Amino acid sequence: MSHWFHRFNRILFTLVGALLVAACSALPFATEAEPTATPPLQPTVEERPLLPSAAGGALAEEGDIMQESIAETELDPAVRATVTLPEPSVVLPTIDPLAVEQDIAVGGSATVYPITRRMYRRFVREGYAGIMKIERVGTGEGFRLLCSVGTADIVNAGRMVTADEVELCSSISRTPVPFAIGRAAVSLFVHPENDFVDSVTMAQISTIMTATLWSDVDPQWPAEPIHHLLPRVDSDEFATVVRLAMGGNADALRTAPNRTFFDTNDELIQSFTGQRYAVSFASHILLLQNSEEFLRPVPIDGQLPTAVNILSGRYPLVFPLYLYTDPGILQGKPQVAAFINFYLNHINEEIREVGYFPAAVQDLDAARTQLLEILGE
């Protein structure tokens, strides 16, 4: 009897919350401050059940302090229309979030953060009443929280785990296992007044990022200093360029001449003002959020990072997005297993809303299969 009374109360609370949300729907969203500290990134506060708030609007969280995420950015419908969502063939159980109890701790990639946050919001809207703590601290620090500190249940990751991180996990008897959730891309940008760089090859990127003058890259280009305006070294975009364009040589990029590193995309964009000879790379999301009045994307091997080019494999600077956890956590914490199951069931319904792209169907099927095998289902 008490079980049904408890369940009735939770349903009633959810319905009342929904009515309050509707009443507050005309209010603006709360804004969140981008982390500005030097590495490691500052963690997010605890993400609590979604609450109606006169200050924060329909989906504000109690204690929410981070800047409006990409998840709430309105994307061009034409961009969404080009995203073809694959249909996985492996079927997972249907999760009832109302039946899920206990809290979840997530840490890692700032790139994956808006997707996980969006999935968490949906999880709550459908009944989950627990607290999810999401720390946006970078992929590497996320693995440290899982594998050394032992406080994270899930890692948001913008790359594969390294051998050193696997070894670190083994020191506390954990094994990081990946679940593919999507893909993102890195764009190369120049100043809009740059009238000489029309397109580059993948081979030229390494030279551009380490050269002193533009003429060092191409004698027909001006003998002007290249201003390297770069994202932070622990970002997924930095790691992707190092892996795919720099031959793994991170030091060459860290020590590039005329270099400046920026903690946030906003700072990086603002730094382009008056910098005709600047070059940078960042998430392709900047293409959706900024006009070419501020930045001009440069085709790589003749391709821009459009949905069609990314999904077809023609665009070269693409990186995978993952969730990582440990089999023991999945088996010992049913709330973590339920959330990852829910995530994998609904990711293709949500990922286009944050401007990213679906994982290959075989990778999604592999992720679903791995979850079923770990849970013995």
Q: How far is CA 28 from the centre of its chain?
A: 24
Give residue-wise pLDDT tens across range 150-187.
Answer: 999 999 999 999 999 999 999 999 999 999 999 999 99
Q: How confident is the model at residue 209 (pLDDT cuts 50, 70, 90)?
A: very high
Average pLDDT over residues 6-12: 46
Please name which of 163, 186, 137, 171 lies closest in space to residue 309, comparing C-alpha atoms. Answer: 186
**Does residue 122 contact residue 346 with C-beta atoms inside 8 Å?**
yes
Q: How confident is the model at residue 52 (pLDDT cuts 50, 70, 90)?
A: very low
DSSP 66: S
- Res 279 pLDDT > 90: yes
Average pLDDT over residues 228-257: 96
- Evaluate whether 2-183+321-375 and 185-318 have a shared fold: yes
Residue 175 makes CB contacts below 8 A (sequence gap 6+) with 166, 169, 326, 327, 328
- 328 or 68, which is more confident: 328
Q: How confident is the model at residue 20 (pLDDT cuts 50, 70, 90)?
A: very low
> What was the pLDDT predicted at 56?
28
> What was the pLDDT predicted at 82?
52
Average pLDDT over residues 67-95: 58
Q: pTM value?
A: 0.79
> What was the pLDDT predicted at 269?
86
Query: Domain extents for the chain?
Result: 2-183+321-375, 185-318
- How far apart CA 298 and CA 187 sit, in angstroms, is 7
> What was the pLDDT predicted at 316?
97
**Is 1.10.240.10 the CATH number for 2-183+321-375?**
no
Q: 185-318 in CATH: which number?
A: 3.40.190.10
Residue 141 makes CB contacts below 8 A (sequence gap 6+) with 40, 41, 107, 108, 135, 234
**Does residue 66 contact residue 33 with C-beta atoms inside 8 Å?**
yes
> What was the pLDDT predicted at 34?
33
Average pLDDT over residues 46-60: 33
Average pLDDT over residues 209-235: 97
